[in-house]
Structure 1
Amino acid sequence: MLRVGISFAISIIISFIFLPILWADVDVLKGPHADDAKTINLKMSYRVSAPDKTYRARFVLLLPSTLPYRQKVISKKWIVPPTKIHKRGDSTYAEWILDRPKGEIDVGCELKIELYPFDYSGLSRDVGYKADYLKDYLMPEKYLETRSQPIMDLAKKVAPANESGGILLHSLFKGTLNNLDRFKFANEAKGAKGALKLGGGDCTDFTDVLVSLSRVRKLPARHVHGILAASFNDTPKHSWAEVYVPQNGWVRLDPFLAKLKKASFRNLKNYYITLTYDRNNGIYSKKNGISYWRYWSWGDPIAVTERLDCGFGVFKERVSSIRGE
């Protein structure tokens, strides 16, 4: 009887010790800031306008997906169900094939997304990535010209050779801000080399420079494309960086908003919707740089009108291949 009582007591003690750990594992997707989560309703709507002699149209859209510590897609409602869903790396694409389209056809979806704070001030530790995965974020690529002499020289100039980890990252972050001025949004990407030559750029250019400097100094870094769930002037589409720091894991940084005094090295607002970590996804074509969406048509050309709405104003843009528009 005594032995049974001791065993029961031990099991109770073990339960009290390990239950918090088990419960913590349940929320690993959200990270330690689940109580500070923000729910966003995002509507991504695209109107395809097709003349009478268009016999096929194809439309591909980059979609938000659930990403640990960053965001969770709670629900998704299609305007018209897609023909296919594609996964490539961490990116998700919906594809619609429209045969014999006539007039105007709406495609897209409405999503409810839970966003979690994810910056250097937090306790999130998105760690544990293997070297084979991280090495891809150390390589040069289009717009991230890490073998360009001006970029290599700047990476050495802004941070002493003995700096590492978070201290090194902070120096590279400051170096980006000190060497770039804020320019208005531009559709044409300059790349890190071009941005340094011009002495400025938009959010894409600031991110290209920080990512390139980080890669030169052997900090894995990636260019993130997404949407800001906040009021905007030109567009809610935005770029920022994530850099992998030992002991901290991936860290989100926004040099462009920091230049505007709307963010800092350590603190970011919780309004980032991540779409892709691929700087040059191009939606099936590397030569196209980044594309949030893309269309093709057979027969007469088509036009697509985009409407993005996450509760802070509607962004609208029409892209047309129709002659005369």
Structure 2
Amino acid sequence: MRYHYIMRTSIFVLAPLAILATMIISVLYGAKDISPATIRAAIFHFDPDNMDHQIIVTSRLPRAVGALMIGAFLAVSGAIMQGMTRNYLASPSIMGVSDGSIFVITLCMALLPNSSSFDMILYSLIGSALGAGLVFGLAWLLPNGLSPVRMAILGTIIGTFLNGVAEAIASYFQLSQSISFWYNARLHQMDPAMIKLAVPFAVIGLGLAIALSRSITVLSLGDDIAANLGQRTRLVKVLSLISVTLLCGVSVALAGKIAFVGLLVPHIVRYLVGIDYRFVIPASAIAGGLFLGWCDVASRFVNAPFETPIGVVTALLGVPFFLYLIKTKGGGKHA
């Protein structure tokens, strides 16, 4: 369609400007007023003894970059899950993937308290694989378990169970204060060193998603059609879950659980660019990063001078959209 072509072109052409504008606004506004001149000086002539320069380089810039990265990872994860399962309700936060990461991180913090940042990323990846494996494994075993609403219910049950066990572990080992970061996503505590450690995993996850994009388009038409076209559906699904595990695991390790980005953004993107996942996946990365970046900016003004948790801002948009999907699409699968 000509509409989709125009939208694709607009998104990819305007993306650099939109990303740059988001970063500038994110760095510029916060609890402390800092002038644009100071920001330029901090970036190009950093003075470690200048407190404003320290705030910009060690806090606001990592926060802006982290929000863009995490939003992109979660949106791509949601797009893959929705295309792979033809389930319009699929997303990392609903299907227990994020909860699995938090569960394993909590367990390892209790049993292996001296773990490094790199170890935390690995634990989060293992947890993502655990959560995805439990939900999708049980869904494939149960009668009609792959229907959207049943998978959402199953994901909610598994996620609640994993969260409950994690909270019990945190309480027993007196880790509630330490683990609160992963339960209540805090982008302002973004660790620049962990961002660097996460990049290789994210690159592999995104590269795998892009490489699988054509296959996911075929898979989104249904398993039978994909098999008739010669696609190895089981292999594509396994590789897709690996990509989701990498992207979601990295996201949780960086900032904790952030809900609804992976649910909402892919639906908007498919409306704009069509159902070809060669465009859906990169467009979801762009839109997801911008969406979370602006949600992060909004969180600073909702209850100024105090910051509103980012999860509250995404929920204000995500919950109504979630209910809208259930009301309009019922239990069917998307085409």
Whether TM exceeds 0.5 here: the answer is no
Task: Report the TM-score range of the alignment, normalised by the length of the smaller protein.
Answer: under 0.3
Larger Rg: 1
**Taking structure 1 as the reference length, what is the TM-score of the superposition?**
0.26
Select the structure that is richer in strand. 1
**Taking structure 2 as the reference length, what is the TM-score of the superposition?**
0.25
